[in-house]
């Protein structure tokens, strides 16, 4: 008797789901829950796989491109690009007036003409001039001041006697450049520190370098 009572509804459910909504409703709910669970499982697996891939990618980046190296490369690139966009090539008399205002005329016994002659043969009056040496050092700015001793060019263990970055020497304002040049001239060699001055200016009549300039 019990078997007959339970058997009839089951037959109707299988043969005509529409006629028994009380049973078919739960079946459809179970089906939907099963589908959603499967989708969530797949989604979770994808997220786990993506997280694992990203972790491996970060590990490789740390291995081949350490953060410090990337930062130095970026700053070095900016130090090359930004000053170049502000580059200034002085005229002879314009530079003479600026250097006179900074007090270089007669400084350590050197005339204004000495400085103008040096600037011309060192850089052609170009504030953004940079010369790269084979050892990785650079000569910077209108006076081509070397990174080996006088400025910092992202090379470790350099004296940096002028206490500035080499990119500061590319500023058309020339204040940092003049202060550093004055410090160099205090050395026993004076302007003889610069090969350009020794070869082209030392012991020569330099009056033409400031001739006609209105101070």
Residues 171-198: tens digit of each pLDDT = 999 999 999 999 999 999 999 999 999 9
Kind of pairing, strands 145-146 and 130-132? unpaired
CA distance 210 to 95: 10
**Does a structural domain hold residue 52?**
no
Residue 136 near residue 148, CB atoms below 8 Å: no
**Does a structural domain hold residue 27?**
no
**Does a structural domain hold residue 161?**
yes
Check which CATH number belongs to the domain holding 114 and give it.
1.10.530.10
Instruction: List the structure tokens of 7.
Output: 């058997």
**Does a structural domain hold residue 143?**
yes
Q: Is 93 exposed, middle or buried (0-12, 13-18, 19+ CB in 10 A)?
A: middle
**Does a structural domain hold residue 156?**
yes
Residue 24 has what DSSP assignment?
A: H
**Does a structural domain hold residue 199?**
yes
Count of domains for the chain = 1
Model pTM above 0.85: no
Kind of pairing, strands 130-132 and 138-140? antiparallel
The reported pLDDT for the residue numbered 202 is: 98
What is the domain range of residue 156?
A: 92-209
**Does a structural domain hold residue 18?**
no
**Does a structural domain hold residue 58?**
no
Checking if the pLDDT of 162 tops 80, the result is yes
């Amino acid at each position: 008797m019990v078997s007959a009572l339970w058997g009839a509804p089951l037959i109707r459910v299988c043969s005509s789901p529409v006629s028994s909504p009380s049973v078919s409703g739960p079946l459809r709910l179970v089906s939907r829950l099963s589908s959603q669970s499967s989708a969530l499982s797949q989604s979770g697996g994808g997220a786990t796989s993506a997280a694992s891939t990203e972790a491996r990618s970060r590990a490789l980046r740390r291995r081949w491109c350490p953060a410090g190296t990337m930062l130095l490369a970026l700053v070095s690139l900016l130090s090359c690009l930004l000053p170049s966009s502000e580059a200034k090539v002085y005229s002879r008399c314009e530079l003479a007036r600026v250097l006179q205002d900074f007090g270089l005329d007669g400084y350590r016994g050197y005339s204004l003409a000495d400085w103008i002659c040096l600037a011309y043969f060192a850089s052609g009056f170009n504030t953004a001039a940079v010369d790269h040496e084979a050892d990785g050092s650079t000569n910077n700015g209108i006076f081509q001041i070397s990174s080996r001793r006088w400025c910092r060019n992202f090379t470790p263990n350099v004296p940096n006697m002028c206490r500035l970055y080499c990119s500061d020497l590319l500023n058309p304002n020339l204040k940092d450049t003049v202060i550093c040049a004055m410090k160099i001239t205090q050395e026993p060699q004076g302007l003889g520190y610069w090969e350009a001055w020794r070869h082209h200016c030392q012991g020569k009549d330099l009056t033409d370098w400031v001739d006609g300039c209105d101070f």
